[in-house]
Structure 1
Amino acid sequence: MKIATWNVNSIKSRLPHVTAYLKEVSPDVLLLQEIKCLEENFPQNDIEDLGYNLAIVGQKTYNGVAILSKYPIEVEQRTLPGDSTDEQARYLEAIIGNIRVASIYLPNGNPIDTEKFTYKLAWMDRLFAHVQTLLTYEETLVLGGDYNVCPTDDDVYDPDGFACDALCHPETRARFRKLCYLGLTDALRAQHPQLGLYTFWDYQAGCWNKDQGLRIDHLLLSPQAADRLEASGVDKGQRGKEKPSDHTPVWCTLKD
């Protein structure tokens, strides 16, 4: 089963790219983030016509996550547990066949001297608590999405320049490490340890042409999923297309 994750930065703006990707790459499951629309405004027919089922948690103008799958989707969670007052559309969890997947859009957290960073850290604490519970099920679990975390200096083109950014802040990285130390495997790093492996290039200052990127999109695997890991990669070419998302897809393939 091929599972991909992609922050599309508006499904309305990126629909031609998404449908082309589904036709050309044909992932079994595609996790989307930052769809930036309500569920009723999602281009459902365009996706279903390509043979995909959908689950969507939308929000007007901001955030929003979705799961596209060639197989039936059984939704388990439409919000991240732990805070009933949180109305931001950032988490969607489902069972697809014998695999549990989640589409995650973790808060950016900038500027760090505001409540946005506090919210990010609290959100990561909630994610840690929930994943602790999920791992007790001993299932094949894939947690994919835009984590807005560069785990190490190897994942950012300018470590010094980003040292105080919320994506690289010591508190952010500590929480990400704590999450991984539960027993999760970073699917991309497990097979691609080299430097310069990025998933995001800012629209500003010619970052794409200069390859000044960040690795902030991740697929984290439970031990049961890691045992099935066959391949992983970054579909970098999507970022070079006309009017692209600033992110590009990350994928992994699990053995049957």
Structure 2
Amino acid sequence: MKIATWNVNSLKVRLPHVLDWLAAHQPDALCLQELKCENKGFPLAEIEAAGYHAVFNGQKTYNGVAILTKEPLADVVYDIPGFADEQKRIIAGTLDGVRIVCGYFPNGQAVGSEKFAYKMAWLEALTGWLKSELQSTPKLVLAGDYNVAPEDRDAHPDWKDEIHVSVPERDAFKALIALGLTDAFRLFEQPERSFSWWDYRLMAFRRNFGLRIDHLLISAPLVDKCSACYTDKEPRKLERPSDHTPVVIELA
């Protein structure tokens, strides 16, 4: 099973890239974030013509998540149960006994801001919900744009901003790991300065000035089945790309 995550930063703009990537890589599931479109504007016909089913949780202008799968998902959940939130950031479903949770984690803007407080509350709610999810479905993949670079090696050495690398954010990431999840990317030897996001400004991609903030955490029963995890930088080289690029796991 091949599962990928990709913040497309506007599905309307990046739809040709997504369709081309689906055709070339044939993932069993592709988790998308930052759709920036309402449900009524979701390009379902184009996705279905490409041979994929879709579940989506959209929002005008901001946020929005979707999971595209070759086979229909079961037990679909929208948003974090019990957490009052107008922002569309979570969607989950089960594929072949594997619970796939797709999340677009809050950015947080700046440490100490109201948006940062929201980010930390959101992360706490997510962690509490996933604890119960893991009890009912032990095989689980948490895919998405976390907006957290969990270790120093996940940020360019010249990254000066505190957001994405602060102690509270990294502690929240560790709390997810403590549920029994594993960072699939770190199961394998990776090149130094492996990132998944690069700013559009200052030739950041060309300079590889980036962050690794897109992750696939997997539960214990999937660790031995994980045969690969890698970042595909090719879509970031395209014309009008997303500032993120896909991250992929392969499960035997």
The normalised TM-score by structure 1 is 0.95
Residues 99, 137 of structure 2: 8 Å contact kept: no
How far 1:234 sits from its partner (Å)? 0.6
Letter in 2 for 1:27: P
Residues 155, 195 of structure 1: 8 Å contact kept: no
Residues 72, 97 of structure 1: 8 Å contact kept: no
Aligned with 2:204: secondary structure? coil
% identical aligned pairs: 44
CA distance in 1, matches of 2:158, 2:136: 37
The aligned counterpart of 2:110 is 111
CA distance in 1, matches of 2:16, 2:76: 29
Residues matched between the structures, number: 252
The aligned counterpart of 1:250 is 247
Equivalent positions of 1:183-202 (< 5 A) are 183-202=180-199
Equivalent positions of 1:40-55 (< 5 A) are 40-55=40-55
Aligned with 1:143: secondary structure? strand
Equivalent positions of 1:103-252 (< 5 A) are 103-158=102-157, 161-162=160-161, 164-165=162-163, 167-252=164-249
How far 1:135 sits from its partner (Å)? 1.8
CA distance in 2, matches of 1:200, 1:26: 23
How far 1:192 sits from its partner (Å)? 3.1
How far 1:237 sits from its partner (Å)? 1.0
Instruction: Name structure 1 gaps, 5 residues minimum.
Output: none
Residues 5, 248 of structure 2: 8 Å contact kept: yes
How far 1:206 sits from its partner (Å)? 0.9
Letter in 1 for 2:224: D
Aligned with 1:145: secondary structure? strand
CA distance in 1, matches of 2:159, 2:17: 34
The aligned counterpart of 1:96 is 95
The worse-fitting range, judged by mean Cα deviation, of 27-36 and 129-138 is 129-138
Residues 138, 224 of structure 1: 8 Å contact kept: no
How far 1:48 sits from its partner (Å)? 0.3
Aligned with 1:72: secondary structure? coil
The aligned counterpart of 2:4 is 4
Instruction: Name structure 2 gaps, 5 residues minimum.
Output: none
Letter in 1 for 2:105: L
Moved over 2 A (4+): 192-195
Instruction: Give the aligned CA root-mean-square deviation in angstroms.
Output: 1.2
The worse-fitting range, judged by mean Cα deviation, of 62-71 and 97-106 is 97-106
String of CA shifts for 1:134-190, please: whole Å, max 9, x gaps.
22125211110000000011000036613x22x111000011012112211111111
